[in-house]
Homo-oligomer: A and B are copies of this chain.
């Protein structure tokens, strides 16, 4: 099975998963489902891929870009190629372990594809640029209507709200 795969690769760092990735906090990721998805895609869980996953697990709710992931991996663990980061992100997205999001800041960003927290939306502050998450989903009825009215079968949706966050609203000046 895959669990045994991730010992080492290219003679580099060995990652201790005795405690799993679940240590992160509230935004838990089920390593087992990561293993399963890799297995189903018959992909190896290499140290580089593990590191990428680990970065996300240690930065819950952060919408990281490829460059940011690369920097974090380098800083916290070891040097890996930026191209490898891109390829890992691509792979993990295809396996639905990550989700690609676009905040129109010129680069793609990624977050865990948390099926439990499924369909959360984003509140993008136009002043400070910070992105909050919003868990509500009231769009099901709308999706049914779209199917009936237009014959368009909705598979997924993406909703972003642009506005002013509480913190910025409180800053009276400027």
Q: In the complex, A143→B138 CA distance in Å?
A: 11
Chain B nearest CB: distance from A147 CB in Å? 8
Chain B nearest CB: distance from A158 CB in Å? 5
**Cβ contact within 8 Å between B150 and A166:** yes
Is A151 positioned at the interface, with any CB of B under 8 Å from its CB? yes
Copies of this chain per assembly: 2
CB < 8 Å neighbour of A163 from B104, B126, B134, B156: B156
Chain B nearest CB: distance from A110 CB in Å? 13
Q: Give the interface of A toward B (CB within 8 A).
A: 100, 102, 104, 108, 123, 125-126, 132, 134, 136, 138, 141-143, 145-146, 150-166, 169
Return 30 A-B CB contacts under 8 Å, by A number: A102-B102, A123-B150, A125-B152, A132-B150, A132-B152, A134-B146, A134-B150, A136-B145, A138-B141, A150-B166, A151-B165, A151-B166, A151-B169, A152-B166, A153-B163, A153-B164, A153-B169, A154-B161, A154-B162, A155-B163, A155-B164, A156-B162, A156-B163, A157-B160, A157-B161, A157-B162, A158-B159, A158-B160, A158-B162, A159-B159
